[in-house]
């Protein structure tokens, strides 16, 4: 069976310069061949078990469900995966594939640094040298992740072109790949980009949904995931797409509210079709094709584009898109910490916030699953500043004055 789609309705494709066609074709063929090889699947499963710590639990959130008084809520704890989020599933799959293809070097882009951390960890484990492209501005804002990437042995290269953020890092990674594709794999971080990336990332992330198939001994009525580029959502949902009785929700970043620059909502008639960074999808951009600024309290959802398959599933009506604001995400973070003892990543807290709303409209004999794409330790500089401002600032000031002696 081929899982290679290329296009999803009107979206997807491979819009790259001529020189990148051969390496993408090589990757497509290697990916298809690897998926059909039990030895490769075995390697991936072993890596998932021994290094990532899979399967991740499916937690019955009994206290939260009781307090909300609607559907029974279950939480898929991707945050318990090694490195703290679902991103490692894709990094592992692609790094193993690169090794099988005989590539000697990995490159990746990163925005907030989460994909860089996952890639660096997988490469450390597999003994592959890796270079992470990161905008100069993001390096400044995301110091802890840079620290971890370097500890894993990755080289973090500062990108100083354009706005010095994620899109510039992607451009730089493609430039590197154009020059070095013979021995280098470009490990792209979400279910987007030119084909075969959307198919490949979905297949590696689908380990999430496949595990739920084994774990859920109940009828699933609704599934809720946050959507940045779309990799955690598509991996969570793809194995269930043909079960029409399941309602599926994608949650985008409502940010500070309506209006350009205040959010990262692409699916509520705000996104427009475009071809950017190698694929056709819905983007927040102006009539000249200039990408607009976005805002979200969660770095992982603060992105102007959406993966082509999710865009198509949204337009077809198979997945319903909704939003959660910065404020609602913070409230959901507190709610699940207090009721269940789990700290959602700020991204995942958007799914949590929408799930609280949706569960209320359902009955107690129905079941809803939230994908907690990551855990919230990484967000302490944001959540503590927002929820515990004075104390947190006081702590940071004292820390900054502390003398470091050995």
Ligand X SMILES: *Cc1c(COP(=O)(O)O)cnc(C)c1O
Whole-number minimum distance, CB 300 to ligand X, in Å?
Answer: 3
> Given the rule CB under 6 A, which residues bind ligand X?
85, 87, 114, 190, 226-233, 300-301, 345, 347-348, 373-374
Catalytic site residue from 43, 109, 172, 328: 109
Q: Measure the N-to-C terminal CA separation of the chain; round to a whole number of Å.
A: 59
Whole-number minimum distance, CB 225 to ligand X, in Å?
Answer: 8
In the bound state with ligand X, the residue whose beta carbon lies nearer, of 47 and 197, is 197
Whole-number minimum distance, CB 112 to ligand X, in Å?
Answer: 7
Catalytic site residue from 76, 87, 280, 378: 87
In the bound state with ligand X, the residue whose beta carbon lies nearer, of 70 and 374, is 374
Residue 87 a catalytic site member:
yes
CA distance 273 to 12: 11
CB 307 within 8 A of CB 236: no
In the bound state with ligand X, the residue whose beta carbon lies nearer, of 319 and 345, is 345
Instruction: Give the residue carrying structure tokens 């081929």.
Output: 2
- Residue 13 half-sphere exposure, CB side, CA atoms within 13 Å? 14
Whole-number minimum distance, CB 401 to ligand X, in Å?
Answer: 32
CA distance 342 to 336: 6
Closest among 14, 41, 18 to 199, alpha carbons compared: 14
Residue 373 a catalytic site member:
yes
Residue 334 a catalytic site member:
no
In the bound state with ligand X, the residue whose beta carbon lies nearer, of 94 and 114, is 114
Whole-number minimum distance, CB 406 to ligand X, in Å?
Answer: 34
Exposure pattern of 99-134 as b/e (b: 16+ CB <10 Å)?
Answer: bbbebeebbbbbbbbbbbbbbbbbbbbbebebbbbb
Closest among 71, 12, 341 to 222, alpha carbons compared: 71
In the bound state with ligand X, the residue whose beta carbon lies nearer, of 55 and 376, is 376
- Residue 259 half-sphere exposure, CB side, CA atoms within 13 Å? 3
- Nearest residue to ligand X, scored by beta-carbon proximity: 374
Residues identified as active-site: 87, 109, 373
């Amino acid at each position: 069976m081929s899982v290679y789609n290329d296009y999803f309705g009107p979206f997807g494709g491979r819009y790259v310069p001529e020189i990148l066609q051969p390496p993408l074709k090589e990757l497509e063929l290697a990916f298809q061949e690897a998926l059909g090889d039990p030895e490769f699947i075995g390697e991936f499963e072993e890596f998932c078990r021994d290094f990532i710590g899979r399967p991740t639990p499916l937690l019955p959130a009994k206290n939260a469900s009781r307090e909300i008084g609607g559907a029974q809520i279950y939480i898929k704890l991707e945050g318990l995966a090694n490195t703290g989020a679902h991103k490692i599933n894709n990094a592992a799959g692609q790094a193993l594939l690169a090794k099988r293809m005989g590539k000697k070097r990995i490159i990746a882009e990163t925005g907030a640094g989460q994909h860089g951390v996952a890639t660096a960890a997988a490469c450390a484990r597999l003994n592959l040298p890796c270079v992470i492209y990161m905008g100069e501005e993001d390096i400044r804002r995301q110091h802890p992740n840079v620290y971890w990437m370097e500890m894993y042995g990755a080289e973090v290269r500062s990108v100083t072109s354009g706005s010095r953020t994620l899109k510039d890092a992607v451009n730089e990674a493609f430039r590197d790949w154009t020059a070095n594709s013979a021995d280098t794999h470009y490990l792209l971080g979400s279910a987007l980009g030119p084909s075969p990336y959307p198919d490949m990332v979905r297949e590696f992330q689908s380990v999430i949904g496949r595990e739920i198939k084994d774990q859920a001994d109940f009828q699933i009525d609704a599934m809720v995931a946050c959507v940045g580029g779309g990799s955690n959502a598509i991996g969570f949902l793809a194995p269930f797409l043909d079960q029409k009785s399941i309602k599926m929700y994608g949650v985008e970043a409502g940010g500070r509210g309506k209006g350009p620059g205040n959010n990262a909502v692409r699916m509520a008639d705000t996104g427009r079709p475009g071809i950017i960074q190698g694929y056709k999808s819905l983007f927040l951009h102006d009539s000249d094709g200039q990408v607009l600024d976005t805002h979200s309290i969660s770095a992982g959802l603060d992105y102007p584009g959406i993966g082509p398959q999710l865009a198509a599933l949204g337009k077809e009506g198979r997945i319903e898109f909704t939003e959660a604001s910065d404020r609602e995400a913070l409230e959901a973070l507190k709610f699940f910490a207090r009721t269940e003892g789990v700290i959602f990543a700020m991204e995942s807290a958007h799914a949590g916030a929408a799930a609280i709303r949706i569960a209320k409209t359902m009955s107690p004999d129905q079941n809803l699953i939230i994908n907690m794409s990551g855990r919230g330790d990484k967000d302490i500089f944001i959540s503590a500043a927002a929820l515990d401002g004075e104390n947190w600032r006081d702590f940071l000031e004292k820390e900054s004055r502390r003398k470091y002696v050995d």
